[in-house]
Chains A and B, each alone.
Chain A
């Protein structure tokens, strides 16, 4: 049986080498959990990860919780999640407290002046990457436009946009036959095979 400490340490390790959020995480998860630890097989991992993408909350946290739960029920879920959160918590607190002391320096202000220009560019790049898999047809594009316009002009809480989208999805797709294979899953399996080729 896998110990809670092992779960905690493993997810702490995965988190501390994953830069840039959930999307960078999949190849690292594969290497650690499938190849090294052999806790899950590739198909299971793709399933867990896809569920993490379709459920609320950070993808990495959802995936860790789910794998932790499969191994050791609730204590396992908490151990894996705590492991994933720990490096963020320590590193961010160190950076935030150092920044508090040096934020008045001109050089720091100038550096952040440059960084502030890069941040929107990075987000636009992330949107471009998600675009093809997120917006599949004309209706999808209209939902995108509606969500953008509503939140820019009405200053509405994102919660209402999300709830609206849920209702819209259920109404629009009413009566259609569900697809058997999960599209997100096959997109993700491509990601793993691409990184394996690079290695």
Chain B
């Protein structure tokens, strides 16, 4: 029982405080992984990828996935209900004045500061994901920051902490993204294929 309550409560909080779409719910996933056993931080990148490449709202997909992994069908239901309940409650209040809602000064003021703050929170998620996916699994203990003397020491230090295959793939993806605009789904499928071929 208590795990269902935790799922509902945590996703209720995420629904209530994530402004600006699905990505804004991701910082809350990290918070949950620090606090509870039912969400391991290692699966967060996988669950983001699955949520982005399936139809529907990103936040709802993520909630269903976390809830299902934590406690099966009841868990998926509790997490998803938790996430959408604040929306429904808030909309009941907003609906009465929806035609003037966006002109209200305090809404504009709040939104002015919330948008950059949310970008900051999402950037932390990106940073956490990068750290995990680009760092090498078996760190070489011979090289450490304290005995760096020359350029080649820096290079060998970087090589020892970075997963070179992942860095190259990341660089290629960023270059392609700057040149052409295709749907995220293709990047996910493409890098899955590269992962299989080059044994990531």
Contact = CB atoms under 8 A, between A and B. Distances in A.
Chain A interface: which size bin? 35 or more
Contacts of A66: 91, 94-95, 98
B78 to A, nearest CB: 12
B139 interface: no
A140 B23 contact: no
B31 to A, nearest CB: 6
Interface of A: 15-23, 47-48, 50-51, 53-62, 65-66, 69-70, 74, 77-78, 81, 84-85, 87-89, 91-93, 95-97, 99, 107, 110-127, 130-131, 133-136, 140-141, 143-148, 151-152, 155, 157-159, 161-166, 168-170, 172-174, 176, 178-180, 182, 184-185
12 contacts: A15-B56, A19-B185, A56-B18, A88-B56, A92-B54, A96-B65, A114-B194, A117-B133, A147-B121, A148-B121, A157-B31, A164-B117
B54 A58 contact: no
Contacts of B68: 92-93, 96-97
Contacts of A59: 20-22, 57
Contact of A151 (B64, B87, B124, B190): B124
Interface in B115-132: 115-127, 129-130, 132
Contacts of A16: 55-56
A57 B18 contact: yes
B102 A55 contact: no
Interface stretch (B1-9, B103-111, B140-148, B150-158): B103-111
